[in-house]
Amino acid sequence: MEPCEKQIINTNLDKLIPNTSCNTTFLDLLQASGVFNNVDVNALNAHSSNKIEQVTQFYKLIQTKAGGYQMLLKVLKETKQTGALSILNKIPSQYDPSFHYDDDATARLGKGKFGTVFKGKWKNRKVAVKRVMHTDETKKARIENEVDILRICDKHSNIIRYFDIKNFEYFDLIVLEFCDITLKHWVADRTKVQIPRRNIMKKVTKGLEWLHKRRILYLNLKPENTLLNAEPPCVKLAGFASSVRLKNGEKVCQVPLGVIDDTFCFEAPERRRNSRECSFASDVYSLGSLFLFVLTDGRSNLKDVESLGNLENTMNETNEANKCVNDILTIKSMTLDDPQSRPTSSELLSTSIIFQRYSGEDDMQETDDFNHPTDPPLLRFIKHVNHSKFILTKNENH
Ligand SMILES: Nc1ncnc2c1ncn2[C@@H]1O[C@H](COP(=O)(O)OP(=O)(O)OP(=O)(O)O)[C@@H](O)[C@H]1O
Ligand SMILES: [Mg+2]
């Protein structure tokens, strides 16, 4: 057994003893694997009347065996000894002083479909540690894909930084830049990160443009994967496990069915069509949904926008209403059914006025507004138009 593996056992022995059972199946499996021989098993069975002594002797013995640690993890898993397994899967700080993470509930930053993310320390830096189980080849391939993409892209200020990966028998730990909050949480409490809404939208678009210029389809843009930092305020895209790197000349890719999750509203409709063909325009669709999410604090969706009807000819009221109409038209163009009719991320950045605030509106006003969780202007507008239409239809029906 490697010295670092012995160290993990010895520093945690007091916790391992009550969590390990040297039952018959456990010892049989270790014997069948070739790690233990007949003499070893008989010696341990001689202590069967004193469980503490038996487990203590067991951990002494296994440390003398080559490949013992990996086999121990495997057999603990097969005999469902999850307590001991979680202790041995942990990385004690004594083993690698530059890296440490806590995997208890209080240190948990979030959980997605594929990984659980915890607070950690890496080379004296506060980091996020994404733990991803690789129980089968598909999961292994997803992790490799995510790390490959992070390695290429993390130079951009709107993409999460990747620091390191630590490989274990049953899982990998991806060490990432730490962020304070996701966009999903931010819309519910904007005081935690004081950043204007349109600034977030612009930063996300810049991150997406950067990915697209490197021929990467993100395919996972949603509030849970959009992270925010308070000091200094900044925006970072994360969650690249299902992203795809297109080869030169390729314009679309077929998304395997298994990758599609149920993030309704952020997923482009072409992902659900028979061909399941995705392109850069699929990300733009998600971006349009995300803009609506940000501008309405997550309290409206594309169905509400659809029900507003055609607003092209309504540019006549106040400045604020005009701006809202423009927001709606931009979001509508980005979420058109036909992917080819949507603007590109570069076109949005160079021509769209969606990133500009209302005339007369400045950063301070937006900042003042952080403490007043009133309806944002676009939400007020959507409610107003839909309400007026409702009154109109009601009167017409009478
Ligand atoms: N760098 C980070 N800092 C803080 N919290 C994070 C960080 N990365 C992820 N999280 C939190 O953990 C959650 C899950 O992370 P992530 O999105 O990377 O995993 P996933 O959803 O399983 O995978 P993917 O999004 O690639 O399909 C996020 O929604 C977020 O709440
Ligand atoms: Mg995610």
Reduce the DSSP state of residue 236 to 3 states and report it. strand
**Average pLDDT score over residue span 270-285:** 90
Res. 158 pLDDT band, cuts 50 70 90: very high
Distance separating alpha carbons of residues 332 and 305, to the nearest angstrom:
8
Pocket test for ligand 1, best of 101, 103, 108, 109 (most atoms within 8 A of CB): 109
Task: Summarize the annotated binding site for ATP as residue ranges.
Answer: 130
Residues 269 and 357 in one domain: yes
The beta-strand segments (E) located in the chain are 99-101, 108-111, 115-122, 125-133, 162-167, 171-177, 181-182, 216-217, 226-229, 234-237, 244-245, 253-254, 277-278
**CA triple 246-250-256, angle to 5 deg:** 60
Pocket test for ligand 1, best of 118, 127, 130, 180 (most atoms within 8 A of CB): 130
377 lines ligand 1 (CB under 6 A): no
243 lines ligand 1 (CB under 6 A): no
User: Atom 28, ligand 1: which residue's CA is nearest?
Assistant: 110
- Backbone φ/ψ region at 334: left (φ over 0), alpha (ψ -120 to 50), beta: alpha
176 lines ligand 1 (CB under 6 A): yes
Residues 328 and 286 in one domain: yes
Other Cβ atoms less than 10 A from the Cβ of 371: the count is 9
Residues 80 and 24 in one domain: yes
DSSP conformational letter for 107: G
**CA triple 279-282-285, angle to 5 deg:** 155
Q: Rounded to whole angstroms, what are the CA distances from 67 to 12, 36, 77, 191?
A: 19, 11, 16, 52
Quote the percentage of the chain above a pLDDT of 70.
87
**Average pLDDT score over residue span 282-302:** 94
Distance separating alpha carbons of residues 120 and 126, to the nearest angstrom:
6
For the segment 330-388, what is each residue's pLDDT rounded down to a tens digit?
A: 999 999 999 999 999 999 999 888 998 765 554 434 544 555 457 888 888 888 888 77
Q: Which of 177, 201, 233 is the last residue of a domain?
A: 177
pTM of the model: 0.76
For the segment 20-54, what is each residue's pLDDT rounded down to a tens digit?
A: 999 999 999 999 988 999 999 999 999 989 999 99
181 lines ligand 1 (CB under 6 A): no
User: Which residue do the tokens 């819309």 mark?
Assistant: 187
Residues 236 and 281 in one domain: yes
Res. 288 pLDDT band, cuts 50 70 90: very high
Other Cβ atoms less than 10 A from the Cβ of 286: the count is 25
What is the number of structural domains in the chain? 3
Residues 205 and 302 in one domain: yes
CATH of the domain at 276: 1.10.510.10
Residues 64 and 121 in one domain: no
Residues 240 and 317 in one domain: yes
Residues 101 and 11 in one domain: no
Q: Which ligand has an atom closest to residue 218 CA?
A: 1
- Mark 177-213 as b/e (b = at least 16 C-beta within 10 Å): bbbbbbbebbbeebeebebbbbbbbbbbbbbbbbbbe
CATH of the domain at 158: 3.30.200.20
State the distance from the centre of ligand 1 to the C-alpha of 156, rounded, in angstroms.
18
**Average pLDDT score over residue span 104-115:** 87
178 lines ligand 1 (CB under 6 A): yes
Q: Which ligand has an atom closest to residue 238 CA?
A: 1
Residues 231 and 117 in one domain: no
Distance separating alpha carbons of residues 307 and 261, to the nearest angstrom:
26
Residues 112 and 124 in one domain: yes
Residues 248 and 313 in one domain: yes
State the distance from the centre of ligand 2 to the C-alpha of 158, rounded, in angstroms.
16
User: Atom 11, ligand 1: which residue's CA is nearest?
Assistant: 110
- Mark 306-326 as b/e (b = at least 16 C-beta within 10 Å): eebeebeeeeeeeebbebbbb
- The amino acid sitting at 35 is V
Which residue range is the domain that position 209 belongs to? 181-397
User: Atom 25, ligand 1: which residue's CA is nearest?
Assistant: 239
State the distance from the centre of ligand 1 to the C-alpha of 237, rounded, in angstroms.
10
